[in-house]
Chain A
């Protein structure tokens, strides 16, 4: 694969989202297009290729910019749809 052989960053080349989690209470998400749905039980994000669904309890968005966002709360499940 050309991206591998040229050692290019996959997130930029493939448009893959980066999800960084600290325990089950905090998650940072980069490379996404926007929010599709937001409630205290579920946050559904639109990535470039797929949707990412965070479900849990007392979920909230600490900050939200075009580049990245931070989700905090009790995260029970992360699904790629």
Chain B
């Protein structure tokens, strides 16, 4: 802080020599002239003094018979006259400042955080439709309205926050982690739901919580067959049906069935043999237009890697300029074939991945029965898994079934 004040006020470093420099310092002290960084160099002393103090030194010098020379000038008062001589520089500096002030009134970057299901592209398209895009004025963004629109458009988003951070528009969203709950709410208007089999197999275990079970463990079922009915009959004393109550059928039904597995691997593949030659092509892009430096003759086969970044100042002041480079790596395509061992390992890897995916879904694999078949073009892994899982689907009861039993059936 002291340094900043000194810089703003300005000071000089002086060289003092002569009959009695010590007396000169004492006199300065007596005249309330602050001296600092006093260094003895043998024949002479150097010290710093403020500009105001410097102009009061004349008497002290005369009295003590010392002489003085300015070694260096520091601070803003010395910079200003220098700037006066460099008018273009001053205009440029002021222009740059004004340009920054002007540009900081617009939004130059949009960041979306927290979206997992809704992709950035979908989000940006939606924002563009609502007039939110890079290059718009900052004050045109009405955060509460935009937040509401986002929640209305994307049902899965439960919370939004729209903030302006410099020239960056930060949209934070939180998606519903339990979409099933929303679905349940939607189902409330329905009359009831049945549970149907989703695979051909045998029921291994069945626990019914709500609804009328129509099958029992050990029964064979076909895909689409009704397992638990959501339409519960209310009986009269004589055993006739009085009416139906509707509920959402709920049960844990484990069905053992065959899960077909088929993986296909072409026997040949294109391998890239890199020649080691590469070209770099810098480019810069403004809002819509992209400018690339000429790159010469393009390679017939090449990998293209593009890196880009948006220019920003002071951490969060994004400018509408994206710079980057594209690297082209030349390769020669060579057609190679898999050996039966390689193909076997690759297919086994895919199989392991499939097993892992099924296990993650809660499918219990009882038996694996797969083999690899080779023909001229492909290696094919095919067979069946015997699995146990809750292969059931919940479907709403159709409306024509939901009528109350006719009056005459009543006692």
Bound complex: CA of A34 vs CA of B21, how far in Å? 12
A33, closest chain B residue (CB): B26
- Asked whether, in the complex, the Cβ of B35 is within 8 Å of the Cβ of A66, the reply is no
Bound complex: CA of A36 vs CA of B23, how far in Å? 7
B34, closest chain A residue (CB): A65
Bound complex: CA of A59 vs CA of B32, how far in Å? 23
CB contacts (< 8 Å) of B119 on chain A: these are none
Bound complex: CA of A63 vs CA of B47, how far in Å? 9
Which residues of A are interface residues toward B (Cβ below 8 A)? 33-40, 60-66
16 other contacts beyond A34-B30, A63-B35, A64-B35, with CB at 8 A cut-off? A34-B25, A34-B29, A35-B22, A36-B22, A38-B40, A38-B45, A60-B39, A60-B40, A61-B25, A61-B35, A62-B38, A63-B36, A63-B37, A64-B28, A64-B34, A66-B32
Per-position 1/0 for B5-42, Cβ under 8 A of A: 00000000000000001110110111010111111100
- Asked whether, in the complex, the Cβ of A61 is within 8 Å of the Cβ of B38, the reply is yes
Bound complex: CA of A34 vs CA of B40, how far in Å? 16
How many residues in B have their beta carbons less than 8 Å from beta carbons of A? 17
23 contacts between A and B (CB under 8 A): A34-B22, A34-B23, A34-B25, A34-B26, A34-B29, A35-B22, A35-B25, A38-B21, A38-B22, A38-B25, A39-B40, A60-B39, A61-B38, A62-B36, A63-B34, A63-B35, A64-B28, A64-B29, A64-B35, A65-B29, A65-B32, A65-B35, A66-B30
B36, closest chain A residue (CB): A63
Bound complex: CA of A58 vs CA of B39, how far in Å? 9
Interface residues in B301-320 (C-beta closer than 8 Å to A): none
The majority secondary structure among interface residues of chain A is strand
Instruction: With a 10 A CB-CB cut-off, give which of A37, A39, A40, A64 has the most chain B CB atoms.
Output: A64
For the A-B complex, the count of residue pairs with Cβ-Cβ distances under 8 Å equals 49
- Asked whether, in the complex, the Cβ of B40 is within 8 Å of the Cβ of A40, the reply is yes
Which residues of B are interface residues toward A (Cβ below 8 A)? 21-23, 25-26, 28-30, 32, 34-40, 45
Bound complex: CA of A34 vs CA of B20, how far in Å? 13
B232 to chain A, nearest CB (A): 90
A34, closest chain B residue (CB): B26
B41, closest chain A residue (CB): A40
CB contacts (< 8 Å) of A63 on chain B: these are 34-38
B171 to chain A, nearest CB (A): 54
Instruction: With a 10 A CB-CB cut-off, give which of A34, A40, A62 has the most chain B CB atoms.
Output: A34
B29, closest chain A residue (CB): A66
Bound complex: CA of A38 vs CA of B39, how far in Å? 9
Bound complex: CA of A40 vs CA of B45, how far in Å? 11
Bound complex: CA of A35 vs CA of B28, how far in Å? 11
A59, closest chain B residue (CB): B40
B45, closest chain A residue (CB): A38
A48 to chain B, nearest CB (A): 14
- Nearest 8 Cβ contacts at the A-B interface: A34-B26, A63-B36, A61-B38, A66-B29, A35-B22, A64-B35, A60-B39, A65-B34
- Asked whether, in the complex, the Cβ of B38 is within 8 Å of the Cβ of A60, the reply is yes
Bound complex: CA of A63 vs CA of B38, how far in Å? 7
Bound complex: CA of A39 vs CA of B22, how far in Å? 10
